[in-house]
Amino acid sequence: MEEQEKYDLIEQYLSGKMEKAAQLDFENQLKSNSALQQEVVLHRQVEESLKGEGIHDFRAKLKKADQKWETKHSNPKASTPIFSLPIRRLLLVAASFLLLVLAYNFFDSSSNQGGTNLYAQHFTPYKMVLNQRSSSNAPNTSPALTQAIEAYEQKDFATAAQAFATLQQESPKVLSLVFYQAISELSQQKPQTAIPLLKNILAQAPPLFVEQSQWYLALAYLQMEDQGAAQKELEKIVDGAFKYKEAQEILRSMQ
């Protein structure tokens, strides 16, 4: 895969403009390509640094400048030769500069890491286990549940979130459905929706998903840049619990 093609795919993926088939293919590549995973995280950080729409404005300005250079260079009467730098090179240079700034901030021990950076480094959707459990807290298998599970496993989290929410209306006491809806929402960068769902689970203290909910609730707060609330939740994760070592790692980085 050429560099420009890779960057275009990453931008399409992060902007949510990929066709479903292309998205599934790209996500399959992500599973087995750690270098590509890191580039996706870094591109997300670059976009955050440019404040979302800023990157599109930046691209537009670079393209406009590039077009002017090409026009002048193609004019035989131009007194001074102007060499056109391809837009992909300009973007690469700009992105590289921003990544260097991010890397400096990351390794600067005198400053805390941002919550969204910590979230990106530690978040992975919880494995799907509803098709493996037979406990009282697991829902009975149904076509609707099968579809929800398949959407989740294929990382179609928008579909999965809606499917799990619908299933909850039929089985409101099955908190495993609440848990997977929360993870689906969090995977879509929707911590505001995920937080009350996770709090609901912790308030009822079911036999399943308590430790996992504690971890993901802390990550949701990090995603919202509420490091104070995240710290409180991380401190509740005891030795031997789910993601204890990772929780301690984050707490140390927040000091």
Q: What is the 3-state secondary structure (H, E, C) of 113-166?
A: CCHHHHHHHHCCCCCCCCCCCCCCCCCCCCHHHHHHHHHHHCCCHHHHHHHHHH
The pTM is what? Answer: 0.56
Give the confidence band of 8 by pLDDT, cuts at 50, 70, 90. Answer: confident
- Domain regions of the chain by residue span: 3-110, 119-253
Closest CA to 16 of 155, 191, 181: 155
Mean of the pLDDT values across residues 14-26?
Answer: 84
Mean of the pLDDT values across residues 175-187?
Answer: 96
pLDDT score, position 59: 58
pLDDT score, position 85: 44
Residue 175 has pLDDT above 70, yes or no: yes
DSSP codes, 186-233: HHTT-HHHHHHHHHHHHHH--SSSHHHHHHHHHHHHHHTT-HHHHHHH
- At 103-162, the pLDDT tens digits run 555 444 434 567 888 898 999 999 999 876 544 455 566 889 999 999 999 999 999 999
The beta-carbon contacts of 13-19 under 8 Å, at least 24 apart in sequence, are 13/40, 14/40, 14/43, 14/44, 14/47
Both tokens of residue 234?
């991380």
- At 193-226, the pLDDT tens digits run 999 999 999 999 888 899 999 999 999 999 999 9
- At 81-119, the pLDDT tens digits run 444 444 444 555 555 555 555 555 544 443 456 788 889
Residue linked to tokens 């459905």? 177
92 phi/psi in degrees, rounded to 5: -65, -45
119-253 CATH choice from 1.25.40.10, 3.80.10.10, 3.30.1330.60, 2.40.128.130: 1.25.40.10
Which residues 6+ apart lie within 8 Å of 67 measured at CB? Answer: none
Instruction: Give dist(CA 163, CA 160) in Å, integer.
Output: 5
Instruction: Give dist(CA 220, CA 196) in Å, integer.
Output: 10
pLDDT score, position 237: 95
Residue 52 has pLDDT above 90, yes or no: no
pLDDT score, position 136: 44
